[in-house]
Amino acid sequence: MNYKKTLLIDCSEAAYCCDKKQYNEASGPEKLKMLLHLVFCKRCRKYSSNNNRLTELIEQSDIKTCTEDEKKVWQEGIKKELTDI
C-alpha cells in the first residue's frame, strides 16, 4: 500500500518534475515517478512533450540577453534625457 503513495503522483507534481527536468534538476526518483505518471496520463504526456520542445527551441534560438548593468546605463540615459527636455 505504501509504495502506491510514494510512486503514484498527481498531475501537478508530475508537471513540477517535468519542469525541473528541463533544467536537469530532477532527481532519479522524481524522473521515475514522472515517467510512471506519463504512462497513464495523456494530458501530462502532451505537456511533457511541449515542454521538451520549448527547451529545445530556446536552446536552438541562441537568444542573447543584456546584462542588468547594460540596462542600467540605458535607463539612466533615458532618465537624463527626459529631465533635459
Q: Is 36 in the site for other proteins (CB under 8 A)?
A: no
Q: End-to-end CA distance of the chain: give it in Å, rounded.
A: 73
Q: Which stretch binds other proteins (CB under 8 A): 3-11, 20-28, 36-44?
A: 20-28
Report residue 27: phi and psi, to 5°: -80, 170
- Count CB atoms within 10 A of the CB of residue 47: 17
CA dist., res. 28 & res. 26, Å (int)? 7
Q: Candidates 3-11, 28-36, 37-45, 46-54: pick the segment binding other proteins (CB under 8 A).
A: 46-54
Contacts with other proteins, residue ranges (CB under 8 A): 15-16, 19-20, 22-23, 25, 47, 50-51, 53-54, 57-58, 60-66, 70-71, 73-75, 77-79, 81-82, 85
